[in-house]
Amino acid sequence: MLTAQPKPTCLRPPEILSGAGKHQKLAGKPATLSGFRPSARRSVIRAVISSGDSKAGVETAADKSVGTDKSLPSSSSSGSINVRAVVTVRKKMKEKLTEKIEDQWESFINGIGRGILIQLVSEDIDPVTKSGKTAESFVRGWLPKLSDNPYVVEYGADLTVPQDFGQPGAILVTNFHDKEFFLMEIVVHGFSKGPVFFRADTWIHSRKDNPESRIIFKNQTYLPSETPAGIKDLRREDLLSLRGNGKGERKLHERVYDYDVYNDLGNPDKGEDVARPVLGTEERPYPRRCRTGRPPTKTDPYTESRIEKPNPVYVPRDETFEEVKQSTFSAGRLKAVLHNLIPLMAAALSSSDIPFTNFSDIDKLYNDGVVLKEEEQTEDTKSRIFPEVLNRIFSVGDKLLKYELPAIVKRDRFAWLRDNEFARQNLAGVNPVNIELLKEFPIVSKLDPAIYGPPESAITKELVAKELNGITVEEAIEEKRLFLLDYHDMLLPFIEKMNALPDRKAYASRTIFYYSETGILRPIVIELSLPPTDSSPRNKFVYTHGHDATTNWIWKLAKAHVCSNDAGVHQLVNHWLKTHASMEPYIIATHRQLSSMHPIYKLLHPHMRYTMEINALARQSLINGGGIIEACFSPGKYAMEISSAAYKSMWRFDVEALPADLIRRGMAVEDPTVPGGVKLVIEDYPYAADGLLIWSAIKELVESYVEHYYSEPNSISSDVELQAWWSEIKNKGHHEKRNEPWWPHLSTQDDLSNILTTMIWTASGQHAAINFGQYPFGGYPPNRPTLMRKLIPQEGDPEYEKFLQNPEYTFLTSLPTQLQATKVMAVQDTLSTHSPDEEYINQLHDIQRLSYNDPEVHKLFERFAVKLEEIERIINQRNKNKNLKNRSGAGVPPYELLLPSSPHGVTGRGIPNSISI
């Protein structure tokens, strides 16, 4: 592992007095960075922006007269080389007038050469300083010429270096402006081997915020042991700066990656009802999040004080949304606000939330939008509640925003009612990762029988046998025809607390499916359980679909309770915990322990984009105490505790790999002759079949990549950065799991390939499969209710007679209210939306296109892109195959969630590189 070393002093460039055209002379010598000193030769540069150069916005170095400061000693008796750096900066797209004026001032300061200082550092050691040779210059340029992109500006800087300078390996950038700027890249022209590229894509902080210069390495990949001597110290120092010291509150301009527990979900200062326990303890284990260092709350020293919307939560500066993404997300949030506001107003004005009472109420959400009564649209109303937003709303008339018709009912509005569709969604829906093979009978709980009663399920062998078309239960198990959706043990410990919440009623559920000889999966038995009590010894209820009217309606209610459990587990466990939360420690460790020059950093970089920012936003308004998830899903205030319990009992890195997960659930068996190395038990399992194609393509790329960079024996075990990275993921990122025996070792090519493939799959294919179908499947409340408000009426209950008189009313009033449903629909719509700047897995990312000067590596990524194009064709062909009934047929939506490409918007397809929404 890397050991902490004393931090060298960073370059502190000369003081400059900001003011209207005024500047001081350079005062004194700059402090040194890791022993680096200002170059022995400094260019005397005049204006470098040429009015006639349309390509770079600067004249070429050969065309400029470059003087030499003769008072400085020459570092080479054989002469010098004049080189030019072209510095590309991106401006804001949307600017206020004051910001535009500031931009013009910054351009002026840059033009006179007092805004940005760059210091070129050689890969070669200076024999005198024992550090990399250096040359420095201020960036200059008068009224910079725009490139083809109106938001991109290019400046130039001329430098003189000795002929024995060698190849540049790093550039130190110091920003003398009062505010940060976004540096896209620096290209240095004039060296004998051609232009040298320094891809940055980073925010450069103002020297007023932090006097240390930023280190930008050239687009070259180096293992730690291969790092050129001249930039070895810089490599170490850059990593130290990213780790921070673990103290103090982080500032928004900083780039410090550190770990913390989930102690920021509650707000006990606001009251006990929004206080939440800390996640990330031995009792409640959880992956780590990014540390912000905010002070504790006044009432609980263990809870971190919260930053509420619209104020931003700290994430390292380069992890924040870019402007296009921010605009899209803001538009999505606005849409959610408008969707939420209308029923919220109606609820406030009528003093009660309104349930759906007939299916027409639901249809109106798509056909008419939500309409307020005439008497509610008064001037008094407008002035009392959110006046600015209301004025905008009322300006569009009575019919306000409408919801798009979700895919699940667009082709067949009654599909959700059918048993085969209920079953199909376990294989091709938004949560196809919980169904498992039923391997033995009876089904037995692992919970403590002293607390939760007899462990045996109430589903008997005789009851199952009635549904098996003449074969025995033993034969069905042997032939792998029985499958199980089991949320019993996960939920039963929380059911009593959940049911004590207002308008929440839930069971722990088990559902058995039968896979027929004709290839149709159908549910045959549902068990719904409550915790046993002395007053109610009967706590397990078993339902079958039946054939009479009463049994049919009760069966619909039982399925709705199963769907509600499925929606909660999907959101809290499979979606949030297993992708978003688990990925964050990988990202933190990658920045802390792998240099941006490291080949594994470059491989993972596209798969980390935006994840920390979207997670911070989720902690702020989705998974927090009183947030959307608690308000609209069955577990309520216990939602994140359930997520923690699931992490404790079932999360393990080695089975997050798709093939391993399928084998664990009994949905596949090992078979090295097929893609992914496993053969599916149900061939027509769209998520798994398409997922294995994506998994195999990722694995093939990763294996070739690892083999390319780690061909030498022991090269993996001797890579100090890589070993520190993996150690930190286990010991800090997943601290409560650090001693588990199932963590993979990291010593061979296979070890590293499997680890990286699992991470990339989690960030790309796995997240896409369980995220972008949220609105297409969940946007119709009866198909996937996120909570239930009533238990199923039993004979003898007062509600039973009402149920017999109007079963539709009982069913609909058991679902979420109109306010709850529209909130969820708005959030699902936002979470299912691809941003216009989305980067998809089948596109060659900038870091892959620009950061490798090795043609062999380029070929690997090109082959990967071609492979994904072929996979897209295969998936489209599968969706037209009439024999694959889970993805084709009358009214059946095709399975497109794992198609690699997508336009932006809510498309129900497309695999982004990263968890970006």
* Reported confidence tier of residue 159, pLDDT bands at 50, 70, 90: very high
Peptide bond before 310: cis, by omega within 30 degrees of 0? yes
250-378+385-419+576-781+820-916 CATH choice from 3.40.50.720, 3.40.1280.10, 3.90.1170.40, 1.20.245.10: 1.20.245.10
pLDDT above 90 for 681: yes
Q: Give the dihedral of Cα atoms 660, 666, 670, 674; nearest 10 deg.
A: -90
Tally Cβ neighbours within 10 Å of residue 693: 22
| Whether residue 362 lies in the annotated active site | no
Catalytic residue among 735, 767, 834, 845: 767
pLDDT in tens, 198-209: 999 999 999 999
The CATH class, in words, for 434-571+786-816 is alpha beta
Token duo for residue 31:
């402090």
Integer angstrom CA distances of residue 267 from 298, 300, 626:
10, 9, 9
Q: Tens digits of per-residue pLDDT, 644-678? A: 999 999 999 999 999 999 999 999 999 998 878 99
Statement: residue 273 has pLDDT above 80: yes
- What are the domain boundaries of the chain? 80-219, 250-378+385-419+576-781+820-916, 434-571+786-816
Read off the pLDDT of residues 234-251 as tens digits, 9 standing for 90 and up. 999 999 999 999 999 999
The chain-wide mean pLDDT, for the chain, equals 85
Give catalytic status of residue 607 as yes or no.
no
Are β-strands 67-68 and 43-44 bridged in parallel, bridged antiparallel, or unpaired?
antiparallel
Split at pLDDT 50, 70, 90, the class of 309 is confident
Q: Is 580 a catalytic residue?
A: yes
The active-site residue out of 771, 783, 879, 886 is 771
- Most confident range, picked from 61-70, 184-193, 818-827: 184-193
User: What pLDDT band is residue 547 in, cutting at 50, 70 and 90?
Assistant: confident
pLDDT of residue 27: 30
When pLDDT is cut at 50, 70 and 90, the band that residue 537 belongs to is low
pLDDT tens-digit series, residues 350-393: 445 789 999 998 988 887 765 433 333 344 433 333 344 334 33
Of the ranges 2-16, 578-592, 844-858, which one carries the lowest mean pLDDT score?
A: 2-16
Q: What is the predicted pLDDT for the residue at 308?
A: 86
Neighbours of 100 (CB within 10 A): 12
Catalytic residue among 459, 512, 698, 917: 917
pLDDT for 112 equals 61
Which candidate in 570, 575, 598, 734 is catalytic? 575
Kindly report, residue by residue over 712-737, the tens digit of the pLDDT.
999 999 999 999 999 999 999 999 99
CATH number of 80-219: 2.60.60.20
**Which amino acid is present at 535?**
S
Q: What is the pLDDT of residue 7?
A: 35
**Would the pLDDT of 21 be above 50?**
no
- Two structure tokens written together for 622: 């989705």
Q: Which residue has the higher pLDDT, 403 or 567?
A: 567
Segment 446-455 shows an average pLDDT of 94
pLDDT digits (tens, 9 = 90+) for 211-225: 999 999 999 999 999
Do residues 468 and 476 touch, judged by C-beta distance below 8 A? yes
Classify burial at 792, counting beta carbons within 10 Å of its beta carbon; exposed 0-12, middle 13-18, buried 19 or more: buried
Q: In what order do the strands lie in the sheet with 152-162?
A: 152-162, 80-90, 181-189, 196-204
Instruction: Give the least confident one: 4-13, 91-100, 121-130.
Output: 4-13
Q: Record the pTM.
A: 0.88
917 is catalytic: yes
Question: Rounded distance, CA 440 to CA 676, Å?
Answer: 27
Which residue among 580, 591, 598, 605 is the active-site one? 580
Instruction: Give the model confidence (pLDDT) of 803-819 as tens digits.
Output: 999 999 999 999 999 88
Question: 3-class SS at 654?
Answer: helix
Q: Is the pLDDT of residue 173 over 50?
A: yes
* DSSP per position, 783-816: TS-S--SSPPP-TTSHHHHHHHH-HHHHHHHHSP
92/100 Cα distance (integer angstroms): 9
Burial 897-917 (b: 16+ CB within 10 A, else e): bbbbebeeebbbbbbbbbbbb
pLDDT of the residue at 65: 31
Q: Poorest-confidence range of 307-311, 506-510, 861-865? A: 307-311
Per DSSP, the residues of 299-351 read: S-TTSBPP--TTSPPP--GGGSPPHHHHHHHHHHHHHHHHHHHHHHHHHHHHT
CA–CA gap between residue 412 and residue 623 (Å, rounded): 33
Report pLDDT for 105: 66
pLDDT of residue 830: 85
Question: Judging by DSSP bridges, how do beta strands 214-217 and 168-175 pair with one another?
Answer: antiparallel
Residue 789 phi/psi, 5° resolution? -105, -5
Residue 770 annotated as catalytic: no
Q: How confident is the model at residue 96 (pLDDT cuts 50, 70, 90)?
A: low
Q: Give me the amino acid identity at 908.
A: G
